[in-house]
Amino acid sequence: MAETPAPLRCLVVDDDALALQIVENCIGNTPFLTHAVSCESAIAAAEVLRQQPIDLLFLDVEMPLMSGLDLLRTLQNPPLVILITSSKSYAVEAFEYDVLDYLVKPISYARFLQAAQKALEVVGSPVDAPENVPADAPFTFVKVDSKLVKVQFDEVQYVEALGDYVHIVTGKSKLIVYSTMRAVEEKFPAALFVRVHRSFIVNLKRVHTIEDNTIIIDAKHIPIGQTYQKEVFQRLNKF
């Protein structure tokens, strides 16, 4: 019998006490979420993120001293992020930071649940692989339709998220797999692959050119998300 996954640990950040309570109540009514901690400032939230694991960050944009977007700029490995604000004007800028969703106050539970379910989908589905494959094997197996297909890591150029599926692209084929990017990150060797965007993982050996924060692999232009830039360039410099 498959184990029930642990609820996603949530951090709520908002300088408005009423807004904090509303989000906390929404979390309390969502079985696959658990409230870890709340903060009334981005500065306090930064300290929490340094000290304990957080799966999902509900982050207000407009706060004194340090805004929510300012906080995102400081995070090298941010958790999944759902932004919360009273203004729709931040929507375009928000998605430049690879946030999962964007909620406008006042928040309804239905809209909250829709955003939370996106987070569950990201962490939920594993890439299937037989149990007897060694952890250091140069390949894995992925489920394509009803078949398990062997994938050699060296042959993978990049992985792209598209809805509930990922596309694993090699020089010869494109495999469509029902899975999440988080599951791919866990199965694919970190020494060879790096997450460059909420929707892309690339094989460092396959990177041909970088131009204007865009990676080019066989004429495919792959954006580097702002929250991933520092780690990506560090990895490329060491590779």
pLDDT digits (tens, 9 = 90+) for 115-166: 998 888 777 544 555 555 566 778 888 888 767 788 899 999 999 988 778 8
CATH assignment of 8-124, among 3.40.50.2300, 3.40.50.300, 3.30.950.10, 3.50.50.100: 3.40.50.2300
E strand spans, 135-203: 139-144, 147-152, 156-162, 165-170, 174-178, 193-197, 200-203
Q: What is the mean pLDDT of residues 5-15?
A: 89
pLDDT of res. 3 = 45
Numbered ranges of CATH 3.40.50.2300 in the chain: 8-124
Class of domain 139-238: mainly beta
pTM value? 0.57
The alpha carbons of the chain give a radius of gyration, in whole angstroms, of 19
- Per-residue pLDDT of 170-200, as tens digits, reads 988 899 988 888 888 888 998 999 999 989 9
The yes-or-no verdict on residue 96 having pLDDT over 90 is no
146: tokens are: 């009803």
pLDDT of res. 118 = 85
The yes-or-no verdict on residue 207 having pLDDT over 60 is yes
- Measured on CA atoms in the order 153, 154, 156, 157, is the torsion positive or negative? positive
Kindly report whether the peptide bond that precedes residue 106 is cis, defined as omega within 30 degrees of 0.
yes
Numbered ranges of CATH 2.40.50.1020 in the chain: 139-238
Question: Quick one: pLDDT band at residue 68, thresholds 50, 70, 90?
Answer: very high
Q: What is the mean pLDDT of residues 67-89?
A: 86
pLDDT of res. 19 = 94
Q: How distant, in Å, are the alpha carbons of 3, 42, 57, 162, 233 from that of 36?
A: 22, 16, 10, 30, 32
DSSP-derived secondary structure for 220-237 = EEEE--GGGHHHHHHHHH
pLDDT of res. 171 = 85
- Per-residue pLDDT of 20-42, as tens digits, reads 999 999 999 999 999 999 999 99
The yes-or-no verdict on residue 1 having pLDDT over 50 is no
Percent of the chain with pLDDT strictly greater than 70: 88
Question: Quick one: pLDDT band at residue 214, thresholds 50, 70, 90?
Answer: very high
Phi, psi of 167 (to 5 degrees): -105, 120
d(CA 41, CA 64): 8
